[in-house]
Amino acid sequence: MARYGMALDYKNCINCKACEVACKEENGVELGAEKHRIWVGGNNPEGQWPFLDIASAAFMPSQCQHCEDAPCQEVCPTNATYYDENHVVRVDSDKCILCSYCMNACPYDARYVDDRTMTVDKCTFCSDTRLARGETTTACQNTCPTKVRTFGDLDDPNSEISELLRTREHFSLKSHLGTNPKLFYLT
Amino acid sequence: MQVEVSRRKFLQGSISLSIVGASAISATNLFANNDEDSGGGNSSIPKTITTKTGTGKADEVPILCGMCVNKCAAFARVEDGIITKLNPNPYFPKSRNMLCPRGNAGIQTTYDPDRLKYPMIRIGKRGDGKYKRVSWEEAYDAIVNGTDKFKGLKQILDEEKDNRATIGYCNGEGLSKEGFEVLVGQKIGTPNYVDEVSICLETAGGGFFSTIGTYPEIDFEHADYLVIAGANRAEAIITPDTLDMFKYTKGRGLKTICIDPRFTNTAAKSDKWLPINPGTDLAFVLALTWVVFNENLQNEEFMKKHGVGYEEYKQHILSHKYTPEWAEPICGIKAKDIYTIAREFMNAENPIYYPGRRSVLSPNDYQLRRAMAIFQALSGNMDKKGGYIFGNRGLLPAEYVKQPIYENTKERFDTEGIAFPTLKSGSWIVFRNMILEGKNPYPVRAMLMRKHNPMMSVPNTAKTRAFLEKMDLNVVIDILPTDTAMLADVILPEASYLERMSPVKSYGFLEPAVVMRKAAIKPLYETKTPEVIFKELGEKLSKPLFEVSKKHDKALQELIKEKGEKVAFEEGGYNLAEPFEKPIEEKNEEIITEVFGKKAWEIIDEKGVYYPHIEEYHKQLSPNDFQYYPKSKRKYTSRGDSLKVICKNDSLASGGIDVMPTWHDEWKFSVPKGEFRLITGRHAQFTQSGTQNNMMLRDLIPTNFVWINQRVADKMGIKFADRVEIKSEVGAIRLKAYPTEKIAPNQIFLLHGFGSESKGMEFAYGNGGNDATIIKDDIEPMYGAAVMHSTNCKIRKV
Amino acid sequence: MKVGPLNIPIKEDFSLKSILDFEKTPLNIFLAVSVLTMLAMFAIGVITYLIHGHHAYGVTREHPWGLLIAVYIFFVVSSTGFCIVGSLGDVFGFKRFEMISKRAIFGSIVTIMAGFAVIAFEIGHPVRMMIYNVLTPGLTSAIWWMGTLYGLYLTFMIVEFYFLLNDDMKRAKIFGLTGLLVGLAAHSNLGGVFGFLNARTISNGVYYPTYFILTAFITGIYLSFIVMGFRYKLNFDDKVKDLLEGLAKIQGLLIAILFFFMTWKLLTDMYGGMPNRADVAHHMLHTAPFWAEVIFAMLIPFLVILKDFGKSPKLMFFASLIGMVGIFFMRYNLVHDTQVKPLQMMKLTEYQLPPEWVEYFPSATEIMISLGGLGLCILLYYVGTKAFNLDATH
């Protein structure tokens, strides 16, 4: 029983996308550019050559925010989307009817359709792979070249992530929607 | 509904989807095999493209990544004989518990449906893709004796009277490269070797080495100011530099100035980005140096102690008036920025002018490297904490090979236009071009090529094709049917890096370690590991080639007369397989046990990494951080008083090379109106042509686009993904356009390694444009290395 | 009249032959061929879907709801509309409208069945849905309520229709009222499916649940004109004229209210330039389907009604046909515009354009299944007219 979250030291991110590939290989995610559980976003820098705005060209790794109040869970007609015992937002593919309501309701575009099961798939924090084997990192954290990510138990005051959130300023994405995300971006 | 897409179907499906109405490429040649082909040995091919890792029993096999040159350590998770995941290895200081996107996608290289699966010999015309599947015996026999379509080595050597130099060979970077060099260079005995060095970083290595004695490592942890010019560490990943650097950028201790014509991901992580005119970095460094001397900002004490020709260099810089105002129009960088950078650099505690290993981009690259090294030395931040690190030597001794002497073998000849030809790896361009132009003093009639794809890596593909077509015999050892393989007479399929143990390798520098790649699975299909191929090929060639020598080599004839044939064969080193007789597994254990003891072997066998005191030193500090060596055990300073900074190198004069870095106006950047300068570079998700058929990576970079300035594209009516033709004086390619403000109006950029013409690679075939087709085969004067940024192109919408 | 199973009164001459027996006018033959073509398309579309799954559709990660959702809404709104119109006479006792009640209630049954037929091929696992809707109901889900209530609604409608056929007006009224209430609840929940989307600022709020009821009524009246137009071959007697004039006047009022609704929705959307709302509203204004909705569903019929306050039933028949085309665009726009603004605005690969507006165009399969739904609807209705006496009998 834990309350898992992830802190992202996103200024470290170089947009190499190692996390995306590690995620796909670890979790057997389908190939295809649209089929991703996690991603790194970037922007075209503002301005014209040679006056380009470096600040506008930041990279933002993202994925399911594992909201405490997840819109995707609320809208699911069959409760296929549920919070597991570690507060991870999961999909029970046996119950998913693929109405796609959750895909529309998720404010983060974190869900997609797995064509093999014809159900909605998303980030699981590696719950059924790495965590199930007793490992303590997700595939994306483990592989990251510049060590952007720290995954851990928010309820454990001794965890690295708790320490980071106590000592570093951070923000969450679209928190005004009342979703209470458990992904924290360190500034 | 359960839809399980097989690898082959996935490829075909996506191809037929992308070209609506077109039928998938017909599988009539041998390269396109079906999924039903089972793997060899006990291994099998996974049924799905990605395999979810299980929670049951699994082997964690230490491997070394083979997706690029870095050799990062990893563990392969193997479940039921299938590699389900590659995880970073936390024991190796160089790769710091990480795997990049390519490293993670390595599984797809091994399980690539287009892999070369069994030996093949050509039965059609060269290039038409008609091959016959044969046994290894038959393939070796074809190399020795030829077929009705091509001549074998025995006949060629006999006709050339045992001039072994008639055989050329090439090899790409990798852990088994040395073995191939031993087999072909030392045992078969030809000097005509070319490899990636002369189309890559030759002057970077040479320039630094000849100025400060080594190509240094950087201690980013303690550095506080960084000028990173012409290097893109966010995308051209080098371990550990990339891993260290970006933890401190963006106002977190390492002020970073990025100098690059393009706005790269490195620029995006910098404090300041200054787009420089391609090929003018030397003027920039000279102007920085001028500011330092003019304002007396240098560490005079350090330079007096270590500089060679230091005063003359100072005079040289000042008297040439390499002022920022002089450099501004050349580089396109404002004088005031140059002043600021020079002053900030010298005032910083631990400034770094990043050495930036990469391909040779301009003809002055050797001098640029010299100027960079000297500029760094001016700060005194060298051979110490926070600076350039010279570090330790590797931990392993060199190996001895019994090398036969072939009396009739001629010397290499690829020296035209080169001041200081390198004996070992020569110059690809000069070697090729002299043969094409008939300037070779003796015929070169065979090319043995391993893990190297000159059709896509050496500038001017048309010439490379003509060169290979000239050969009587082309042998390719590789894992994929590359463009080069399609010109081969004999193709030998090699095991990919996950299917083989490789010779142990040691890394020096700040935190030295020995690493070892074990085989995660047995070789698939009928592939063999390189060392086994070398051994078997050596065995097959030994006697027939010895017979040729016996016929033509007078010294050998006398030796036989004196000692008898058997002794002459053995002692003369004519048993070509001899260095490979001991299996690599035994050899590795023997070396490690001999140097470090039995316990070390147990550790490296389990962890893939060993260094003295690893058990004591190695600690996990946090979920993300490991200690490899305690700081007190890291050798920040190793040269001490013996460090020399060669400002003036008189020996260069004999080759007509400037003894001190000097600017020549012929290097000024200019592009005729209506044309564009072609520049190349890297993305983190792609390693040149070697990853072009990787199904995972193509999701991230589906094809190579050509960058063109947004406003210029608007004027030309070119929109995103429009097809354009890029034409230089040596060739033309077609690919999609990517209008962006991240590039200057008179330049274009495209990613290297796309545009394969080999139908054997289903995805890579015809995808994007091959830059080698359009890059001119210019060389720089020092070593004859290929210059990549000298080509102007026209562009038009098609 | 003969009596079928369960005491259902069925027309004397109802047989397969009677179904094939119709006046062979060019228009009728054209309609018959069209319906058969649409049914064939339905079959092809469904087979394609069964083979390729959602790959056969134009839907994407960013635009998971496509044409079939729009067509489903189109049909269920039609059903609710028929139900409201049918209730005017039966439930609320407006005598003038009683003569259309049976026909309208039958219409509400066939339209919702067509809607279910279409949505069955949009929902990935319809059978699983029925199981887990019961086993693990998602009570916070508007889709759960909408689906469940529509199921109930259909049952009530069938029962009401049964009593109507048997002229049991008292029971018909009870089931009619219950059905209407359940239908309205179901229908406003369908609006809630969109209204609850916090992340989709353009749709979030009270607008859609109420607007759905209003537009359902409007749709019901258009459909009434159409079914009555076919029933009487545009030769309306006075009684029918009286009915249609009444409906037209109500329609005039409803369209006026809709104009009012839409204007204020758009103004509040755009006012102040709120992100994800104002930009989407501006974007909508620049798309053809939006204007198709306004002109076809609202403007043209409204002008026809204004011309002589609903006294031209023939013209209204044609205006209603145009109106239904507009209503289709209304549903399509609702679905598309909800999803048109990407939730993830960054580039995920170097070689792409920055996300701007989500593009969607229905695939051939989606179009075939949608037309198939229409064909099914018309066929069921036609069979109904052959089997049952849908005219008022008292």
Query: Into how many domains does chain C fold?
Result: 1
Domains identified in chain A and CATH numbers: 4-186 (3.30.70.20)
Q: What per-residue confidence (pLDDT) applies to B6?
A: 52
Residues of C with a Cβ under 8 Å from any A Cβ are 53-55, 59-62, 64-65, 123-126, 128-129, 132-133, 135-138, 140-144, 147, 193, 196-200, 338-339, 342-350, 354
Would residue C348 count as lying in a domain?
no
CATH number of the domain to which C332 belongs: 1.20.1630.10
Cβ–Cβ of B275/A50 closer than 8 Å?
A: yes
| Separation in Å, CA of B199 to nearest CA in chain C | 27
**CA closest to B5 among chain C residues:** C52
State how far the Cα of C140 lies from the Cα of B282, in Å rounded to an integer: 67
Which residues does chain B have within 8 Å of residue C349's beta carbon, measured at their own beta carbons?
Answer: 700-702
Q: Which residue of C has its CA nearest to A119?
A: C124
DSSP element (H, E) containing B678? strand B676-681
In a mutagenesis test of the C interface, which of A44, A104, A115 is the best target, namely the one with the most C β-carbons within 10 Å?
A104
* Residue bearing tokens 């049954």: C109
What is the end-to-end Cα distance of chain B in Å, rounded?
43
CB proximity A69 to C under 8 Å: no
pLDDT at C91: 86
Q: pTM value?
A: 0.93
Give the pLDDT confidence of C133-155 residue by residue, as tens digits. Answer: 999 999 999 999 999 999 999 99
Residue-range domain boundaries for chain B = 7-110, 135-199+400-408+438-494+529-580, 215-389+643-651, 585-633, 665-797
Rounded to the nearest angstrom, the minimum Cα separation between A94 and chain B is 12
Average pLDDT in chain C: 92
Q: Which of A16, A25, A133 sits opposite B100 (nearest CB)?
A: A16
CB contacts, 8 Å: B720 with chain C: 353
Is C290 inside a domain boundary?
A: yes
Does A57 lie at the interface with C, CB-CB under 8 angstroms? Answer: no
* Residues of C engaging B, defined by a Cβ cutoff of 8 Å: 50, 53, 349-351, 353
Query: CB–CB of B30/B120 below 8 Å?
Result: yes
Instruction: Give per-residue burial for B236-258: e unless 16+ CB within 10 Å, then b.
Output: bbbbbbbbbbbbbbbeeebbbbb
All residues of chain C having their beta carbon less than 8 Å from the beta carbon of residue A34 are 60-61
| Residues of chain C with C-beta less than 8 angstroms from the C-beta of B738 | 350-351
Chains that touch A (3 or more CB pairs under 8 A): B, C
Determine the Cα–Cα distance for residues C382 and C31; give it in Å rounded to an integer: 11
Ramachandran bin of B671, using left for φ above 0, alpha for ψ from -120 to 50, beta for the remaining angles = beta
Rounded average pLDDT over C74-78: 96
Architecture of the B135-199+400-408+438-494+529-580 domain: 3-Layer(aba) Sandwich (3.40)
pLDDT digits (tens, 9 = 90+) for A76-128: 999 999 999 999 999 999 999 999 999 999 999 999 999 889 999 999 999 99
Which of C125, C199, C338 lies at the smallest CB-CB distance from A97? C125
Q: Edge-to-edge, what's the strand order for the sheet holding B505-507?
A: B505-507, B513-515, B609-610
- What average pLDDT does this structure show over C224-249? 92
C353 vs B contacts (CB less than 8 Å): 720
Q: Is C6 left (phi over 0), alpha (psi -120 to 50) or beta?
A: left
Q: What pLDDT shows up at residue C168?
A: 87
Give contacts of A130 with chain B, Cβ < 8 Å: 53
Interchain pair B1, C350: CB under 8 A: no
Q: Which residues pair with B168 in a beta bridge?
A: B447
CA distance C52 to chain B (A): 9
- pLDDT at site B29: 41
Consecutive 10-residue runs of chain B (798 residues): their mean pLDDT?
Answer: 45 36 34 46 72 93 95 96 96 95 96 94 92 96 96 97 97 93 96 94 94 94 96 95 94 95 96 97 98 97 96 97 98 98 98 94 96 97 95 78 92 94 92 97 97 96 97 97 96 97 90 95 95 97 96 94 92 93 94 95 97 96 95 91 96 95 96 96 92 93 96 97 96 97 97 93 93 96 96 96
Q: How far apart are CA A122 and CA A120, in angstroms?
A: 7
Measured between alpha carbons, how far is residue B239 from residues B173, B218, B264, B716 in Å? 16, 11, 18, 41
Distance to chain A for C61, nearest Cα, Å: 5
CB atoms within 10 A of CB B621: 8
pLDDT, tens digit (0-9, with 9 covering 90-100), for B297-332: 999 999 999 999 999 999 999 999 999 999 999 999
Q: Considering the domain boundaries, does residue C51 fall inside one?
A: yes
Q: Which amino acid appears at position A111 of this protein?
A: R
Write down which chains contact chain B via at least 3 CB pairs under 8 A: A, C
- Domain of C135, in residue numbers: 2-342+355-387
Q: Does domain B215-389+643-651 have CATH number 2.60.120.620?
A: no
If you count them, how many residues does chain C have?
394
**Closest residue, chain A, to B334 (C-alpha):** A50
Beta bridge partners of C390: none
Q: Is residue C394 part of a domain?
A: no
CB–CB contacts below 8 A, B to C = 16
- At residue A20 the predicted structure's pLDDT band, cuts being 50, 70 and 90, is very high
Q: Which residues contact A135 (CB under 8 A, 6 or more apart)?
A: A126
Domain B7-110 has CATH 2.20.25.90: yes
Q: Give domain status of residue C232, yes or no.
A: yes
Structural tokens at position B219: 């201690």
Beta bridge partners of B494: B528
Please report residues of A whose CB lies closer than 8 A to that of B696: 21, 24-25, 31
**3-class secondary structure, C192:** helix
CATH number of this structure's domain B665-797, picked from the four choices 3.40.50.300, 2.40.40.20, 1.10.10.10, 2.40.50.140: 2.40.40.20
Do A79 and C136 contact (CB within 8 A), yes or no? yes
Flag whether C392 is in a domain. no
